[in-house]
Structure 1
Amino acid sequence: MTAGAPPPRPRRIVSLNSCLDAMLVHLADRGQIAALSHYARDARASTVADQARTLPYTWESAEEVIDLMPDLVLASQHSALATRNALKRLHVPVQRFKVPRSIDESLGQVREVARLIGHPDRGEALVARIEAAVAAARPTPGARRLTALIYQPNGFAAGPGTLVDEMMAETGFDNVARRFGLKTWGNVGLERLLADPPQVLLVGVPAPGARSWADRVMSHPALKVISGRMRQVRLPERLLYCGGPVLIETAAAMALARAQALKEGA
């Protein structure tokens, strides 16, 4: 390799994380993908489930990954430690990514994945699409902002210092998680929510038509008492887990949620 030349483009890439699955599907040549994570096929958690159904996948075990003879493995800080350690012992190249806490961090990861797999130009193109989607989802200057809380199973909510919090701010919501003392992620009990409700409750739902924890919350008798003060809007749960290309859909969904809440009198 000559000085300054780019590294060889990896030919067999394995992803061990659903968020990295989405990046790989958007950025890599199909022939470069040796396997995605098993989460990629789950439409409740993945935005690339349709594409993933025709691609190999693993259950994240070291044996499965090693058998694929990858020349690059993309992992997250939550990927199985035993698998990561086994791959390290065998000198399999592993790149580990943290959970992005901001849009800028997420865009940086898109660029890094694109560089690692040999398609930096695709990374820049995807970054431009994400930035355009976020810009399109912003309310007009001076538009009224709405207080809101993202509510996930068992009262799990996103607080300050999270990517979800920044996406809420960009799309015209003021996250009330701070009022409940949340730092990054935490739980907000139904009693506390009833005592100090936001204008909008954004409830994560797993998939269209699926009966979920969200349905039980949204039909809770106690919430009817404050229905005039708090609007409830559903969001696909899979849009709340990841950054990268997922932000394109997340931005549009949050903008639609805001428009719906305003239409309903929030």
Structure 2
Amino acid sequence: MGIGKIHRYLQLVFGLLLAPVLAGVPGAAVESAVPHPQAAKARPHKIVSLNLCADQLIVALADRSQIAGLTRYATDPAMSDVALAAKGLPVFGGSAEEVLAAAPDLVIGMPARRNSAIAVLKNQHYSSLDLKSANDYDDIVASIRDVARAVGHPERGDAMIARMNGELAGLRKSGRGRVAAYYQRRGYLTGTGTLVDDLMTRVGLVNLAGKLGKPMLSQMSLEEMAVAHPDFIVVDSATQKIADQGTEMIHHPILADIPRIAIPQAWTVCGGPAYVKAARTLAEQISAR
């Protein structure tokens, strides 16, 4: 690195250390410094994502030429619904140095306090958008609008929301009030106030965790599950085969008579367009039972 580049890099780091830390936690209000419509450069040219959920929306709403960096999870098909579309785009390992080197003019994603490497990033030199965790469809719509405006393509956000609304409008509530449990590795049960719970409600299912007064995330033994005996057990598609002790528990013979519904984790780990695919798949599999 030449003397000039080193000097500019030190100026950037020094300026960042003086600026306020990217703030917020999941569920906090959106912090956005979207460029003013009258600004000379209203559309960002170097967008960096700091978490998987931001990856999904940036890939869907921004031009490829605008994307300066995604997280390492963006191209993992087990985690990311945009894994195929993200191929060929820059992927970062999670260090602050990578973000600084990219010299972004918009950073979208993770609160600094969740990652010490990112805690040094400040928002003096570029705009930032801290996404709220999406726990229901309304949150997803809000995130799509926020990201679409931030990347300079609000019309794409409106079009995406219109498509999603149209597809969901014709969705059958095939659950008909039957009870389902989203059962994960090592007996973890997903409760109310979550995206999965919202999906269950949309297709007419009752979440077992809510019925039993369980929190957003709890553990439930095989014996408890067998006694509760929901009408369906919903699982991550990746756990349909036994890979370790954690997945072996889900396939215990004591639960063999409870019908299974499988949906990919990549559709539920973040709130985004994949919500529609998850809802449709849930409804279709319930109807087939």
What's the TM-score, normalizing by structure 2?
0.79
What amino acid is aligned across from residue 241 of structure 1 in structure 2? V
Q: Say if 2:88 is the partner of 1:46.
A: no
Deviations 1:148-170 (A, max 9, x none): 01112222222111122111111
Deviations along 1:216-257, whole A, 9 cap, x unmatched? Answer: 244312223xx1xx2122221222211121212212221122
- d(CA) in 2 for partners of 1:248, 1:79: 31
Please name the residue that 1:170 is paired with: 202
Match of 1:190 among 213, 216, 222: 222
Count of equivalent residues: 253
> Residue by residue, what CA displacement relative to the aligned partner does 1:158-194 show, whole Å, maximum 9, x if unpaired?
2111122111111121111123332222222222111
Q: 1:5 aligns with which of 33, 38, 41?
A: 38
1:254 corresponds to = 282
What is the match of residue 157 of structure 1? 189
Corresponding residue number in structure 2 for 1:238: 266
Does residue 104 (structure 1) correspond to residue 138 (structure 2)? The answer is: yes
The answer as to whether partners of 2:95 and 2:118 remain within 8 angstroms in 1 is no
Contact 1:10 1:117 in 2 (8 A): yes
1:194/1:207 CA distance change after superposition, 3 Å: closer
Q: 1:34 to 1:212 in 2, by over 3 A?
A: farther
Residues 200 and 208 from structure 1, CA distance in 2 versus in 1: closer, same or farther, beyond 3 angstroms? Answer: closer
2:128 equivalent among 94, 98, 104: 94
Gaps of 5+ in 1: none
Structure 1 pair 79–198 and aligned structure 2 pair: CA distance change class (3 A) = farther
Partner-residue secondary structure (3-state), 1:14: strand
SS in 2 for 1:85: coil
The 3 A distance-change label for structure 1 pair 258 and 76 is farther
State how far apart, in whole Å, the 2-side matches of 1:207 and 1:148 are: 17
RMSD: 2.4
Question: Given residue 218 of structure 2, which amino acid in structure 1 is its aligned partner?
Answer: G
CA displacement, residues 33-68 of structure 1 (integer Å, 9 cap, x when unaligned): 111110011111111111112111111210011111
CA deviations over 1:85-122 (Å, ceiling 9, x no partner): 21117644332112112211110010000011111100
Q: Normalising by the residue count of structure 1, what TM-score does the alignment of the two structures yield?
A: 0.86
Which of 156, 161, 164 does residue 127 from structure 1 map onto?
161
SS across alignment from 2:130: strand
What stretches of structure 2 of length at least 5 have no aligned partner?
A: 1-35
Q: Does the 8 A contact of 2:191 with 2:197 survive in 1?
A: yes
Q: Which has the larger radius of gyration?
A: 2
Find the partner of 2:96 among 62, 74, 78. Answer: 62
